[in-house]
Amino acid sequence: MSHNAPLPAFGALAGLKVVDLSRVLGGPYGGQILADHGAQVIKVEPPAGDETRAWGPPFADDGTAAYYNGLNRNKRDIAIDLSKPEGREIVLKLLEDADVLIENFKIGTLERWGIGYEQSLRERFPRLIHCRVSGFGADGPLGGAPGYDAVAQALGGLMSLNGTPGTGALRVGVPVVDITTGLSAAIGVLLALVERQRSGRGQFVEATLYDTAVSLLHPQSANWLQSGQTPQLSGNAHSNIVPYDKFATRTCEVFLGIGNNRQWKKLCEFLGQPALADEPRFASNAERFRHRDELRALLETQLQQVDGEQLCRDLLATGIPAGAVRSVPQVLTDPHTLHRNMVVDVEGSRAIGIPVKLSRTPGQARTKAPRFGQHTRELLIEQGYDAATIDALIARGIIMEHPAK
């Protein structure tokens, strides 16, 4: 691993150098995971900047969208025009002691610039792990096509499973494919790093929105491969388990996740209907599934009489999965969210915390997302450039400290 630049002395990935050429969501999210755990991540932005800087409102005081700030903390930032040969030379210099390159350029762009992985980077930097995030990969019937989260949700089948017969297919409300592709990218990089300890060699790692969307189809994909029956829109209900669904109570909506007969018996006791558990129609999951409409009607009647929040607290306390349906503000101010450090203060701004907790080498949210070109001079000085050369590169528009208009 590289020892050229100042290294954060914390985290499982301390000493790792990552050059992150990616923009928007999947790539930056994967890079942020590595940065949260101590990698030195250098974000390289194009002259106009990462477009998510403008994806607001809301905007921070400096005019940067919250969307961008949520994906780029703990990184240092340099802005380079890669369409110019001198710009590409700077990136190649950054890669000399880098461990990982993350990029999500349109397929063929790096090759056009002469810096594709097979074309030049693999030979020039044999230890480099090159991670490409793309919509569909480079080949196959959809190879090279542009990818966006909602399109991947549609083409990858997720929309066909989300919604009710009344609403029709619905997009999942968060960019779940982009985010999980970022996770796949980070996992792929870590796998390649472990393998490099054995072989001494880097490799090409690919994470695509399409493959990730298809991988998220469990259990409906497994069900179809087994039975040949097309999964239907089932709203909040589970495709295999009953009752596993959203219900209205006297005070709020709740989700009950009853996964086995023991939990079913306990729920019936809580609702003051212990005999319901032993009725032949409802005695096993297969029978409950067969009679799910009757069961739902019975439960709805009982639940209308109870305080939903209290019911869920009582059920959870006895080991039964249940939760009130909460809003984002409710979640982000909840005592358990705060106890788990899932909302943190980063240089005076509130942000989401780190979901993976390591006991000896925990991750940290240390610095907020960088301003455009914030570390351009600092990073070039570390690479051996002198002030006059840096000034000349800025004057010629190869690098920049302010976004191109």
Q: Give the 3-state secondary structure percentages of the chain, helix then strand then coil, rounded to 5.
A: 40, 15, 45
- 397 pLDDT tier (thresholds 50, 70, 90): very high
Domain boundaries, the chain: 17-216+358-400, 244-332
What DSSP line would sit under 134-160, residue for residue? ESS-SSSTTTT----HHHHHHHTTSGG
Q: Which residue from 401, 367, 328, 370 is spatially nearest to 53, judged by alpha carbons?
A: 370
> Is the pLDDT assigned to residue 2 strictly greater than 80?
no
Q: Which two tokens stand for residue 226?
A: 């087994």
Amino acid at 75: K
- Residues 265-304: pLDDT tens digits? 999 998 889 999 999 999 999 999 999 999 999 999 999 9
Q: Where are the alpha helices (DSSP H) in 37-129?
A: 66-69, 85-95, 109-112, 122-124
Q: Which helix (H) or strand (E) holds 225?
A: helix 220-227
Whether 8 shows a pLDDT value over 50: the answer reads no
Question: Does residue 178 have an active-site annotation?
Answer: yes
From CA 24, how far away is CA 389, in angstroms rounded?
A: 31
CB 56 within 8 A of CB 67: yes
Q: In whole angstroms, what is the distance from residue 226 CA to residue 207 CA?
A: 27
In this model, does residue 9 exceed pLDDT 80? no
Distance CA 247, CA 121 (A): 55
| Domain at 244-332, CATH class | alpha beta
pLDDT exceeds cutoff 90 at 57: yes
The residue with tokens 């305080």 is 307
Query: How is domain 17-216+358-400 classified at the architecture level of CATH?
Result: 3-Layer(aba) Sandwich (3.40)
Mean pLDDT of 28-54: 97
Out of 114-118, 180-184, 193-197, 401-405, least confident range: 401-405
pLDDT for 7: 46
pLDDT digits (tens, 9 = 90+) for 147-202: 999 999 999 999 999 999 999 999 999 999 999 999 999 999 999 999 999 999 99
Number of helices and strands in the chain (H, E): 17, 12
Q: What is the per-residue pLDDT across 205-231, written as a single tens digit (0 to 9) for each?
A: 999 999 999 999 999 999 999 999 999
Average pLDDT estimate for 296-324:
93
Alpha carbon distance 82, 95 (integer Å)? 14
Residue 3 has what pLDDT? 42
Residue 191 backbone dihedrals phi, psi, to 5 degrees: -60, -45
Give per-residue pLDDT as tens, 229-254: 999 898 898 878 999 999 999 999 99
- Active-site residue identified among 178, 211, 278, 386: 178
